C-alpha cells in the first residue's frame, strides 16, 4: 500500500483539506479518491502505469484525482492550468496519455483535442456513477508521476518519479522540517510543479496536517488568512514574498503591527524555486519576525539541500545536504573540487528521478558513469554552507577570461534605491566572449546609468559591472515566477 494512503488511514477524523470554504476530513478524501479510482479503472483490474493527464483546480478535487490515479495504478500527469493548447497537446502526445480529467472550467477548452486524439475525457461532476471495486496492489517501485521541465532551447522533458522517489522526497522533508498533524499550511503555488505538489501538499498530507487552498493570488486574501491565526506553515517563491511586502508597506501602521504579531506565531516560513534576494529576506524578517528557510531543489531531485530548521539560516545560502541525499561539487572533468572552489552540484540518492520519459539518451547524458545526477548549477561551500553561484548555462558568464556569477551582480544591483528588480545575463561578444548586460526594473525613470555604474564599481570588481542596461517594465518569468534568462537575452 502507498505510504501516503496508509498514513491517512490512521487520521480519518483529522481535517485534510480546506477549499472553497469547506473542510474535508482524511476519511472523506480516502472515500472520494477510492471511488474515483473505480471510475478511472472502468472495469479494468489495474491501469498498469497508463498516463492520466489532469487539469484540475487546486483544492479537494485536485488531491482526490491525484490519489485516485495512484490507487488505480496509473501515472499522474498534472498539466499547467494557464498553458496554451499547443503546450498541452505536446504533453498529451509525449506521455501518450489515454485519459484526461478536467475541472468543468476547462472542458470546452480541451474537448476537441481529446476527441481528435481519441482520448477518454472525464469532466469532474459529470462522471457516471460506479460501484467501488477492488483496487490493485501498487508496488512502490512503480512510476508515479511525470512533470515537465520548463524547456529553454529544446522541448520540455518529462521527468519520471517512482513512488519510491516521491516517498524519499516527502519523508525527508517531513523529518527535516518537523511536520506534524498539528500543522496547517496554505497552498498558493501552481500544482504542476514539485514545489507545490511535494513540499506543500504532499508533506502536509503525509504528516496528517491540514492543507488549505485559495483560488488565485491575492496579497490581501493571504494576509486575511494569516490574521485568522489558524495557519502556522507558509511556503512561497521570492516574487510572492515581494508582492506581500509591497502590499504590507501600503497598510496603516496599526494594520502592519497586527499582521506582524500574527505572523510571528508561525512555526515555519520557507522560500524556494528561484534565488531569494537578500534584500527581500531582510525585509520579510522585519515584517514577519521570520528568517525565511531557503532550500534548493529541482524537478529531477525534489529537495536536496536546505538551511536548518534549528540553527543558523544564512541569507544568500541554500544550506547543507538533507539527510539521505549525497551532494558533491565537481569541475568540468567531474573531479571533486577543493574546498572553497566553485563546482557543479552533483546529487545522488533515492530522491533522484528515474528517467526522462521516452528519452534514454537524454537521461544517460544527465548522469555521470557512476550514477550522479548533474544539476547544471554551480555552487561553492563556505563555512559548511552551500551558496549558489548560478547555472552553468545562464548564470555563469564567461567574460574576459573570468567566470562571473550573474546572481552576485544582481544581488548588488537590487540594493540600489531606484532598482526594484533586475536580471543579469551574458550575450555573445567577439572581444569579451560574453558581454555582461542587465535588464532593470526601476522606480525612477530618471536614473542615471553612468552614476549607477560608478555606484556599482564601489561594491564589486570593475570587470563584473554590466556594459549595457535595458530599462523594462517587468522581467520575463515562467509560471513559477522564475526569471527566464534566455528570454532576457532576447531583449538585447
pLDDT of residue 183: 98
Residue 358 included in any domain: no
For the cut 90, the answer to whether the pLDDT of residue 334 exceeds it is: yes
CB atoms within 10 A of CB 78: 25
**Residue with C-alpha cell 538585447?**
492
Task: Choose one of 138, 165, 182: the last residue of a domain.
Answer: 138
CA separation for the pair 49, 43 (Å, rounded): 16
pLDDT over 90, % of the chain: 80
Nearest to 50 by CA among 27, 29, 77, 28: 77
CA separation for the pair 131, 428 (Å, rounded): 63
Residue 44 included in any domain: yes
Residue 131 included in any domain: yes
pLDDT in tens, 347-375: 999 999 999 999 999 999 999 999 999 99
Question: Edge to edge, what strands does the sheet with 343-348 contain?
Answer: 326-330, 343-348, 373-382, 385-391
Are the C-beta atoms of residues 350 and 324 closer than 8 Å to each other? yes
Residue 179 included in any domain: no
For the cut 70, the answer to whether the pLDDT of residue 67 exceeds it is: yes
Q: In the structure, how many helices (H) and strands (E) does the chain have?
A: 16, 25
pLDDT in tens, 446-476: 999 999 999 998 888 788 899 999 999 999 9
For the cut 80, the answer to whether the pLDDT of residue 152 exceeds it is: no
For the cut 70, the answer to whether the pLDDT of residue 153 exceeds it is: no
For the cut 80, the answer to whether the pLDDT of residue 1 exceeds it is: no
pLDDT class for 216, splitting at 50, 70, 90?
Answer: confident
Number of domains observed in the structure of the chain? 2
* pTM for the full predicted model: 0.85
Are the C-beta atoms of residues 425 and 406 closer than 8 Å to each other? yes
Residue 285 included in any domain: no
Residue 113 included in any domain: yes
Task: Choose one of 80, 114, 138: the last residue of a domain.
Answer: 138
Enclosing domain of residue 31: 3-138
CA separation for the pair 335, 332 (Å, rounded): 7
As a whole number, mean pLDDT of residues 31-45 equals: 96
Residue 152 included in any domain: no
Residue 250 included in any domain: no
CATH of the domain at 421: 3.30.300.30
pLDDT class for 150, splitting at 50, 70, 90?
Answer: low
CB atoms within 10 A of CB 118: 7
Task: Choose one of 138, 159, 175: the last residue of a domain.
Answer: 138
Nearest to 439 by CA among 457, 430, 428, 426: 426
CATH of the domain at 22: 3.40.50.980
Amino acid at each position: 500500500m502507498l505510504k501516503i494512503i496508509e498514513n491517512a488511514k490512521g487520521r480519518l477524523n483529522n481535517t485534510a483539506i480546506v477549499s472553497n470554504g469547506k473542510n474535508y476530513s482524511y476519511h472523506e478524501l480516502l472515500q472520494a479518491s477510492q471511488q474515483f479510482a473505480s471510475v478511472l479503472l472502468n472495469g479494468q483490474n489495474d491501469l498498469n502505469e497508463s498516463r492520466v493527464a489532469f487539469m484540475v483546480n487546486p483544492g479537494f478535487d485536485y488531491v482526490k484525482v491525484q490519489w485516485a490515479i495512484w490507487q488505480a495504478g496509473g501515472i499522474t500527469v498534472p498539466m499547467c492550468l494557464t498553458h496554451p493548447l499547443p503546450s498541452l497537446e505536446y504533453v498529451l502526445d509525449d506521455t501518450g496519455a489515454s485519459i484526461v480529467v478536467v475541472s468543468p472550467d476547462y472542458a470546452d477548452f480541451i474537448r476537441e483535442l481529446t476527441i481528435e486524439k481519441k482520448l477518454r475525457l472525464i469532466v469532474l461532476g459529470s462522471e457516471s456513477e460506479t460501484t467501488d471495486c477492488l483496487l490493485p496492489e501498487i508496488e512502490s517501485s512503480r512510476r508515479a508521476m511525470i512533470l515537465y521541465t520548463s524547456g529553454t532551447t529544446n522541448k520540455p522533458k518529462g521527468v519520471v518519479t517512482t513512488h519510491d522517489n516521491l516517498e524519499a522526497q516527502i519523508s525527508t522533508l517531513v523529518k527535516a522540517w518537523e511536520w506534524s498533524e498539528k500543522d496547517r499550511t496554505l497552498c498558493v503555488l501552481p500544482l504542476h510543479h514539485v514545489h507545490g505538489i511535494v513540499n506543500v501538499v504532499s508533506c502536509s498530507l503525509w504528516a496528517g496536517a491540514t492543507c488549505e487552498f485559495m483560488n488565485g493570488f491575492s496579497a490581501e486574501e493571504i494576509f486575511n488568512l494569516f490574521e485568522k491565526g489558524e495557519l502556522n506553515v507558509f511556503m512561497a517563491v521570492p516574487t510572492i514574498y515581494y508582492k506581500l511586502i509591497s502590499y504590507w508597506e501600503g497598510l496603516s501602521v496599526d494594520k502592519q503591527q497586527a499582521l506582524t504579531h500574527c505572523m510571528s506565531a508561525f512555526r515555519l516560513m520557507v522560500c524556494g524555486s528561484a534565488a531569494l534576494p537578500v534584500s527581500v529576506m531582510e525585509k520579510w524578517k522585519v515584517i514577519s519576525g521570520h528568517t525565511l528557510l531557503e532550500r534548493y531543489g529541482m524537478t529531477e531531485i525534489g529537495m536536496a539541500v536546505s538551511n536548518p530548521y534549528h540553527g543558523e539560516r544564512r541569507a544568500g545560502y541554500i544550506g547543507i545536504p538533507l539527510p539521505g541525499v549525497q551532494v558533491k561539487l565537481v569541475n568540468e572533468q567531474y573531479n571533486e573540487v577543493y574546498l572553497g572552489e566553485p563546482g557543479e552540484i552533483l546529487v545522488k540518492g533515492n530522491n533522484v528521478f528515474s528517467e526522462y520519459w521516452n528519452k534514454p539518451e537524454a537521461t544517460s547524458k544527465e548522469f555521470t558513469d557512476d550514477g550522479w545526477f548533474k544539476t547544471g548549477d554551480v555552487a561553492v561551500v563556505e563555512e559548511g554552507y552551500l551558496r549558489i553561484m548560478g547555472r552553468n548555462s545562464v548564470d555563469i558568464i564567461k567574460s574576459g577570461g573570468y567566470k562571473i556569477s550573474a546572481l552576485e551582480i544582481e544581488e548588488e544591483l537590487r540594493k540600489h534605491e531606484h532598482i526594484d528588480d533586475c536580471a543579469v545575463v551574458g550575450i555573445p561578444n567577439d572581444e569579451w566572449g560574453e558581454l555582461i548586460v542587465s535588464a532593470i526594473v526601476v522606480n525612477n525613470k530618471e536614473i542615471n546609468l553612468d552614476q549607477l555604474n560608478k555606484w556599482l564599481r564601489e561594491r564589486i570588481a570593475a570587470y563584473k559591472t554590466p556594459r549595457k542596461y535595458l530599462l523594462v517594465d517587468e522581467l520575463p518569468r515562467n509560471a513559477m515566477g522564475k526569471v527566464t534568462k534566455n528570454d532576457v537575452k532576447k531583449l538585447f
